[in-house]
Chain A
């Protein structure tokens, strides 16, 4: 048993994702804590050049195959399972992103290992690993110890600053081959790019973000007036987009966009991890929510426990009066 810590380097459309560096930073701590090596596993087609950015790991395991060219949980998991059986790491950290979703579960299933999902932090304690997980839309945390020699970890984005996982070192690369069974599988036909004609919410200084708590399309229009008074634009959480109250181009979060405005004013947004992922780095976050336990208050700088509909018109009037 090599007993090493592995991180799965997520690459998408030829680029390494931020979570790759976050995982490297976290993986480094855990590997050092256990006194084992940290290895990065890079899967793809014609992407060996990316390995030079993975120097935080002691070494890189690279697999090149056309089946791995596009993201796909089944092919990724099958490749990882073959490597795991050969090399016997103790922990495999898989990103819990929209690109990699499902890979960790399938890997655990194929190699018969426990899967720790929704992990936000990981540490070594007495030669074991212990994970902290975020459940119930951010309202509960659980501390979890997996059983057995091998564990698969599904890691939320944001566990460590990505810069802590970068290094100038050029790591040694070991190339491995895998085979794929000839089974029916899904095939990517094409990508659909987001609509570029709408307001670009990533370029706004002020964003007024509305969530399910906004309750109706008419109230979204009121939030738009508030945004206009502040010289900004409106964006939203997933349920608001799914309802068709705002276009997909306004969605913030895991499937949507990452934004970092000077002010993020969240109205009726609970603060689920998938939403926080897209806005947690804004320098000024103000949240209005009727639930004092809403997880959004854990990342907001200022919080107001109130009905958003009471706040919207008053705040708009106050701002307009100040602006003259």
Chain B
């Protein structure tokens, strides 16, 4: 199987996020960028497919801080090719990014023929739409979201995919190939790769560079962000301070009051 995986760098939200002086964007100075969580699952699912069916995994990403580390770690995990789209001005919207990927996948002859494009289901900063559906539309391919397992069928012309609905209900889908899938979770947790292997990958492999494509629609943003802010903590939570023992006593008191103990 010929599998394309899209990876995206997003701010690590476990860190403190600051708004830039313009009031409309995040302050990037202290941002720690990590790969979007579901993309890591998309890569894992791709590697699992390759292990089962053979083939090739190609990873594509837009240039972003620390993206090289992520691409080399993809190689260390088993990706065959890693490509970086360079020369953009960085601050592209999701929609523009999706448009770029569509152009590249359509026009880079050596990416063809492919069987499947895997993206993460959603990124935490997608203010203006999702990548996978746009890609599917521009490439004229079937699309399925919130996928948690992909199994190749005997014919090689389709896959069976499990998609999540609500309430713990899932659906089993027949997906004709080629297709675009938004991966929520791989069928097993993403593999761990030791730093030494990533270092080795840095020495033995290279990141291919692709220029930013010209976009038919100009890739202009369709939304104006007037301001960003941290949510006003509505004073909702009453914070309990102290040593674990004191806090435990306070909590036990609250539980008793509520008739829970």
Q: Which residues of A contact B (CB under 8 A)?
A: 12, 17, 71, 73-74, 77, 97-99, 101-102, 104-106, 108-110, 113-118, 130, 133-148, 154, 183-195, 205-206, 230, 238-239, 242-244, 248-249, 251, 254-258, 262-263, 270, 284, 286-287, 291, 293, 295, 297-306, 310-311, 314-315, 317-319, 322-323
Contact = CB atoms under 8 A, between A and B. Distances in A.
Nearest to A131: B223
Given A117-B127, A322-B252, A300 B237 contact: yes
A86 to B, nearest CB: 20
Interface residues of B, number: 87
A101 to B, nearest CB: 5
Contacts of A206: 260
Contacts of B239: 297, 302-305
Interface residues of chain B: helix, strand, loop or mixed (majority): mixed
B129 A115 contact: yes
A-B complex: 6 closest residue pairs judged by Cβ atoms: A194-B168, A114-B222, A303-B237, A318-B248, A314-B244, A115-B129
A231 to B, nearest CB: 8
Contacts of A73: 133, 143, 145
B143 A322 contact: no
B80 interface: no
A270 B226 contact: no
A109 B255 contact: no
Contacts of A184: 141-142, 176
28 contacts: A77-B133, A98-B166, A101-B121, A105-B133, A106-B137, A108-B129, A109-B138, A114-B128, A117-B126, A136-B26, A139-B13, A141-B229, A142-B24, A148-B222, A185-B176, A186-B174, A188-B171, A192-B171, A194-B169, A230-B261, A255-B166, A256-B167, A257-B167, A293-B17, A297-B233, A297-B239, A303-B237, A315-B244
A261 B181 CA distance: 35
B124 interface: yes
A113 B241 CA distance: 49
A324 B157 CA distance: 64
Nearest to A283: B258
A117 B43 CA distance: 25
B61 interface: no
A266 to B, nearest CB: 11
Contacts of A239: 37
A184 B94 CA distance: 26
Given A145-B223, A189-B174, A242-B189, A322 B248 contact: no
B57 interface: no
A186 B179 contact: yes
B82 interface: no
Contacts of B223: 114, 116, 144-147
A119 B230 CA distance: 15
A255 B133 contact: no
Given A117-B94, A117-B127, A315-B248, 4 more contacts: A137-B13, A139-B230, A141-B228, A298-B237
B227 to A, nearest CB: 5
A105 B167 contact: no
Contact of A99 (B14, B166, B168, B261): B166
Contacts of B164: 98, 255
A311 B244 contact: yes
Nearest to B245: A314
Contact of B142 (A114, A116, A185, A302): A185
A194 B127 CA distance: 32
Nearest to A187: B174
Interface in B219-258: 222-231, 233-234, 236-241, 244-245, 247-249, 251-252, 254-256, 258
A193 to B, nearest CB: 6
A293 B129 contact: no
A249 B170 CA distance: 12
A240 to B, nearest CB: 11
B105 to A, nearest CB: 16
Given A99-B165, A145-B224, A191-B169, A135 B128 contact: no
